[in-house]
Amino acid sequence: MDIQKEYLSKVKHDELSAELDLLTHVRRKEIAEALEAAKALGDLSENAEYHSAREAQAGVEERILALEEILKNAVIVGSKHKTDSVGIGSIVTLKRGKETKTYTIVGSEESNVAEGKISNKSPLGESMLGKKKGDNFICTTPRGEEKCEILEIK
């Protein structure tokens, strides 16, 4: 299996670690107690509380596994990007068609298009990686191909 690095800021790493700690130490216990209480109600085949608690348990266990995998493969990146080419942590001002927009390149766990944070694994993020100020490139997006130019890298 190909292990994928997950790029995270220190803040996001701490946030995910806290979530994992909450799920493993608090939510697991709460769900176990809910399962015991539901079992005490009798017939499990028609016990809505029991089935609800089992679904919650499955969801929590799935999230715990996902968080453990992310944190195991995490690479913490600093907030300051110090090279002249685009990489994780870069703040890039980009001309897309007639628009000029600024994006921060982040790992997929931190992407938030509304905040201008795009994943290094997104079509645009992948297209920008390694590019330098003044470089032109074509990015294939769901809307089609767009001509882009790197105006500034911070």
- Reported as a single tens digit per residue, the pLDDT across 94-128 is 998 889 999 999 998 899 989 999 999 999 999 99
Q: Are 105 and 125 in contact (CB under 8 A)?
A: yes
Total number of residues shown for the chain: 154
Residue 33: pLDDT band (50, 70, 90) is very high
Domains of the chain in start order, with CATH, are 6-76 (1.10.287.180), 80-153 (3.10.50.30)
The answer for residues whose C-beta is within 8 angstroms of residue 15's C-beta and 6 or more apart is none
Instruction: State yes or no: pLDDT of 54 exceeds 70.
Output: yes
User: Quick one: angle between helices 10-22 and 48-72, nearest 10?
Assistant: 150
Residue 1: pLDDT band (50, 70, 90) is very low
